[in-house]
Structure 1
Amino acid sequence: MKNIPAGKYRPYPKIDLPNRKWPNNTITKAPKWCSVDLRDGNQALINPMNMDKKLELFSLLLKIGFKEIEVGFPSASKIEFDFLRRLVNDKLIPDDVTIQVLVQAREHLIAKTFEALKGVKKATIHLYNSTSTAQRKMVFKKSKEEIIALALEGVDLVKKYEKKHDGEIFLEYSPESFTGTELEFAAKISNAVTARWGISDKRKVIINLPATVEMSTPNVYADQVEWMSEHLDNRENVIISTHTHNDRGTSVAATELALLAGADRVEGTLLSNGERTGNVDIITLALNMTTQGVESNLDFSNVNEVIDVVERCTEIKTHVRHPYVGELVYTAFSGSHQDAINKGLAHRKASKEVFWEVPYLPIDPEDVGRSYESIIRINSQSGKGGVAYILEKNFGYQLPKAMHPEIGKLVQNVSDKKGQELSSEEILKIFEDNYFHVKEHISLTDFTVSSVKGISKCTLTYIYNGKEITVEGEGNGPVDACKDALMKNYKNDFIINSYYEHSYGNQSSAKAIAYIEIQTKDTLSCFGVGADNDIATASVKALFCALNRTFH
């Protein structure tokens, strides 16, 4: 880039971890999930949530299945204090849910926090202070020893007020800006905190390793987590938690690699709301696990409801391409994609295979509350298969494959002229205009057919060149008999290439739909479509449609 002086940026240093194990690991179970939507997410909003929105979002988080929810910073904000008291007083916290609150290592803040927690059966006190080299040097101007003393002071204060609290208290410690902290110092301060707390199998501690600012590639963060896992005292009683932000756009990958590296717990938000580029998106993480056959323990079977609530509470619209939940993520415009999806769905239906395997669809849309109807949408980039899919799925017309290019071209011409996506109703209109409302140079008036010893005999009445003509013919079927009768007076020569039929509508009022493909000396292929209660009449109507479309 222009005008950037040499040395202004430098590569993130490598981690000395020659025998790293995480690249060979696999995620086989869900982590402990902690939603920070009501705290980290809320503080990043242009218009922070009011009480009603907080309650609505809290209810959604419970419905999804979160067992750990960070509800705010009650010592720093009246509305967050009042919100926690509302949860307690209205008995809105289930017995199996742990409420988490954030606080700094100051006695008056910790005292206020415990006041807000009165009556909470299970609570995590999330204690933090920044440990990064940049913040120590530029913001706090404190030595490493002073930073450790600050953290230990916070632990002592939590222990002091814990004695007066009627309920379980868990400790979480975050060396904030962990990714900008020397690993040796991060381990030293974390071990000091767990020792001061009195860590044991009955008194586990959450050590949260936040990528407060995403500063490196995801593999480096995984190295950091694995290194910490190997250097934390009483590791079996430490719950390593991640809290990644998306400054480099790789928070999901960083979190997944961290889980491979030994992390036990994930903090994040729904739809990636958070400071700057956002926190890691728990929906994406959870559904990534689902696609790998791993039970996430979170319920996203109705993503439309999740989107509605989150958008209403945060006043932030979801990008149409957001993984799994965006408006267009189950939609294909490309012709080749549409064709592959259509064939994949048809194969799945025919094979009755349990394993989900459909091209371009990593997850079954129905599993997240979406429908197949929106998978294929039509614009100027769309192909023949997509149009046929829309007509069959939405309207019941099972077009023969040989007809797909013809209808695809008709729809694409309209889309090109409009310069925009076409709705399914617009596609249906194009189909009906071209096959049911054709300008006629020859019109069917009446048709009767009988069969004698395998030979079909017909009486055909039609109008041609302004004259009504009645004529008889015979052949090896109704269509062949009709053609025999027609050619006694009709001057345009043609041959019939193919014929298809299917029923249309419910059983009590089903119609027959027929498709006939003809060929002339000038046209290799042209289709006609006919519909009638009688299949023989539908077939003849299809033939007349093809003739009118070919010799118009």
Structure 2
Amino acid sequence: LIPDDVTIQVLCQAREDLITRTIEAVSGARRVIFHLYNSTSTLQRRVVFGMSQPEIIGLATRATELVKRYTQPLVDAGTDVVLEYSPESYTATEMDFAVEICAAVMAAWGPTPDKKIILNLPATVEMATPNIYADQLEYFMRALPNRDAAVISLHTHNDRGTGVAASELGLMAGADRIEGTLFGNGERTGNCDLITMAMNLFSQGVDPELYLTDMARIVAVSEACTKIPVHVRQPYAGELVFTAFSGSHQDAIRKGMNHVESGSDEAWEVPYLPIDPADVGGSYRETVRVNSQSGKGGVAFILENYFDVHLPRELLLELSPLVQKESEADGGELKPARIWDAFIRELVEVTGPYQLLDYEVRSVGGEREHCVARLQVAENDVKIEGEGTGPIDAFVNALASTLNESINVVDYQEYALNEGSQAKAISIIKIADSKANKCFGVGISPNTTTAAFKSIIAALNRLWR
């Protein structure tokens, strides 16, 4: 049942009956780490076991000899058995005694540089800052005889909230191996979160040699197995860890993403995003979500990344307060569809006195165009007619000559929303009336001229508000 390239690890107290049962359980495995432990702290020696230091050493060495004797048939049958020993509550143990008992276990087991023992040094209960743990580890490794025959392993808990930090400093002190759990699950406040630990290394350019590119799948499996939900703020894995609601943060992320996409710098440098969300299977779209704290940057990001709509800054300054007001009224986050609806309502399908029904444009010689259009004006069907140097100029002149709507186009941009035969054009126009009142309007249509005319009507309707 266990693939040959998988190493299983079993945990066992230093008791003969448990040792024999555990060895029976691993019979037939290709490679086994047998993890033996007994507590060595001053408190547990005094209160729990009522044993002296020599007695605790005797307990550990006798158990080691039992493991060695009872696993010999497995070794003879081809099983690779590695002993791991933990002086439990290591951080609450006198350092010289921790070295002494581990050296005694090594002597009983007989490791070599080619066949090493694992010495696991647990912070069973966090009792100090991470640097103290690192100092204890450094002292231990300097004092341990036959250091080259041992793999120094770390096993931190999170009682003070620094399980990952303690493990990181322990590595810097010279440790070789880390034990932990997915998302920090474990007894009491849990253990070192291996996901956070690995991704911290990854973010600094160190390959943790773990497959973490489908974080959503890892989260799903963990939640299914433990029945414990992963918190939305869990580093690297939570639903909101790459998400900004703050307006200034959203604006910085948007500009940073544009910088990355320009290809001007190979390094990942985006404000507020320490890693590329795509590296863990995330979406850039989820980096910005809009609520009442968001500004123009958030609105722009949603429109650009979900709908390929790029609005000028001046128009974003008009639209974002409207979106913010809607979010405040709603009392929470606005999904992209709601932002799109607000964009359409406020800038495209604007309620007002005018509605474009149909039109016809034809060339009348040179660069002149003649436009005939039908508008619904309030309850009336009105025909307008005019000429100009292009369709837009002809339409504007028709509005002026028939409806006395004297306007000038002061800004105009047009681009395709998508590609292929189903592509639509978007027209963004800014107009000014005879009193210098200015307003934007947006038109969307498969036909570029229709999009332009619709944007003018939308802008006019906004002027009438």
Smaller-chain TM-score bracket = over 0.9
Match in the other structure for 2:115? 203
- Residues 354-363 or 290-299, more deviating: 354-363
Match in the other structure for 1:342? 254
Task: Provide the C-alpha distance between the structure 1 equivalents of 2:372 and 2:259, rounded to a whole number of angstroms.
Answer: 43
- 1:454: how far off? 4.4
Counterpart pick for 2:63 among 154, 167, 172: 154
Match in the other structure for 2:33? 124
Counterpart pick for 2:428 among 515, 521, 540: 515
Q: Deviations over 1:239-289 (max 9, x none)?
A: 000000111111111111111110100000101100111111101111111
Name which structure has the greater RCO, CA cutoff 8 Å, separation 6+: 1
Match in the other structure for 2:399? 486
SS at the partner of 1:351?
Answer: coil
Q: Deviations over 1:281-308 (max 9, x none)?
A: 1011111111111111100111111111
Residues 164 and 463 of structure 1: is their aligned pair in 2 closer, same or farther, counting only changes over 3 Å?
A: closer
Match in the other structure for 1:539? 452
Counterpart of 1:140 in structure 2: which amino acid?
F
Counterpart pick for 2:226 among 297, 305, 314: 314
SS at the partner of 1:95?
Answer: coil
Residue 83 (structure 2) pairs with residue 171 (structure 1): yes
- 1:489: how far off? 4.1
Counterpart pick for 1:242 among 136, 142, 154: 154
Residue 50 (structure 2) pairs with residue 137 (structure 1): no
- 1:469: how far off? 3.6
C-alpha RMSD over aligned residues: 2.0
Counterpart of 1:424 in structure 2: which amino acid?
P
**C-alpha contact 1:503 1:511 (8 A) present in aligned 2:** yes
Residues 521 and 408 of structure 1: is their aligned pair in 2 closer, same or farther, counting only changes over 3 Å?
A: farther
**C-alpha contact 1:460 1:486 (8 A) present in aligned 2:** no
SS at the partner of 2:262?
Answer: helix
Counterpart pick for 2:187 among 260, 264, 275: 275
Q: Deviations over 1:449-501 (max 9, x none)?
A: 537544555444434464614221324x4333332332234445544332111
SS at the partner of 1:403?
Answer: helix
Task: Provide the C-alpha distance between the structure 2 equivalents of 1:199 and 1:433, rounded to a whole number of angstroms.
Answer: 75
Task: Provide the C-alpha distance between the structure 2 equivalents of 1:381 and 1:280, rounded to a whole number of angstroms.
Answer: 34
SS at the partner of 2:401?
Answer: coil
Q: How many residues align?
A: 460
- Residues 515-524 or 538-547, more deviating: 515-524
**C-alpha contact 2:12 2:22 (8 A) present in aligned 1:** yes
Residue 385 (structure 2) pairs with residue 471 (structure 1): yes
Match in the other structure for 1:499? 412
Match in the other structure for 1:42? none
Task: Provide the C-alpha distance between the structure 2 equivalents of 1:492 and 1:144, rounded to a whole number of angstroms.
Answer: 98
- Residues 516-525 or 174-183, more deviating: 516-525
SS at the partner of 2:289?
Answer: coil
- 1:313: how far off? 0.7
Q: Deviations over 1:100-155 (max 9, x none)?
A: 11112222211111111111121111111111111112211211111111111111
Match in the other structure for 2:7? 98
Q: Which runs of 5+ in 1 are unaligned?
A: 1-90
Match in the other structure for 1:358? 270
**C-alpha contact 2:384 2:399 (8 A) present in aligned 1:** no
Instruction: Summarize the alignment of residues 223-302 of structure 1 with structure 2, pairs less than 5 Å apart.
Output: 223-302=135-214
Task: Provide the C-alpha distance between the structure 2 equivalents of 1:538 and 1:527, rounded to a whole number of angstroms.
Answer: 14
Counterpart of 1:514 in structure 2: which amino acid?
S
- Residues 230-239 or 388-397, more deviating: 388-397
Residues 227 and 494 of structure 1: is their aligned pair in 2 closer, same or farther, counting only changes over 3 Å?
A: farther
Q: Deviations over 1:348-377 (max 9, x none)?
A: 112264322222111111111122222211
Task: Provide the C-alpha distance between the structure 2 equivalents of 1:207 and 1:338, rounded to a whole number of angstroms.
Answer: 47
Task: Provide the C-alpha distance between the structure 1 equivalents of 2:99 and 2:437, rounded to a whole number of angstroms.
Answer: 76
Residue 126 (structure 2) pairs with residue 214 (structure 1): yes
Task: Provide the C-alpha distance between the structure 2 equivalents of 1:521 and 1:205, rounded to a whole number of angstroms.
Answer: 88
Residue 92 (structure 2) pairs with residue 180 (structure 1): yes
- Residues 394-403 or 482-491, more deviating: 482-491
Match in the other structure for 1:304? 216
Residue 323 (structure 2) pairs with residue 411 (structure 1): yes
Task: Provide the C-alpha distance between the structure 1 equivalents of 2:46 and 2:4, rounded to a whole number of angstroms.
Answer: 44
Task: Provide the C-alpha distance between the structure 1 equivalents of 2:388 and 2:434, rounded to a whole number of angstroms.
Answer: 24
- 1:328: how far off? 0.9
Counterpart of 2:445 in structure 1: which amino acid?
D
Q: Deviations over 1:54-100 (max 9, x none)?
A: xxxxxxxxxxxxxxxxxxxxxxxxxxxxxxxxxxxxx2x22222211
TM-score, normalised on structure 1?
0.79
Task: Provide the C-alpha distance between the structure 2 equivalents of 1:457 and 1:240, rounded to a whole number of angstroms.
Answer: 86
- 1:329: how far off? 1.0
Task: Provide the C-alpha distance between the structure 1 equivalents of 2:241 and 2:407, rounded to a whole number of angstroms.
Answer: 46
Task: Provide the C-alpha distance between the structure 1 equivalents of 2:229 and 2:376, rounded to a whole number of angstroms.
Answer: 59
**C-alpha contact 1:523 1:550 (8 A) present in aligned 2:** no
Instruction: Summarize the alignment of residues 402-481 of structure 1 with structure 2, pairs less than 5 Å apart.
Output: 402-445=314-357, 446-448=359-361, 450=363, 452-464=365-377, 466=380, 468-475=382-389, 477-481=390-394
Q: Which runs of 5+ in 2 are unaligned?
A: none
Task: Provide the C-alpha distance between the structure 2 equivalents of 1:497 and 1:276, rounded to a whole number of angstroms.
Answer: 66
**C-alpha contact 1:398 1:502 (8 A) present in aligned 2:** no
Task: Provide the C-alpha distance between the structure 2 equivalents of 1:150 and 1:521, rounded to a whole number of angstroms.
Answer: 97
**C-alpha contact 2:399 2:405 (8 A) present in aligned 1:** no
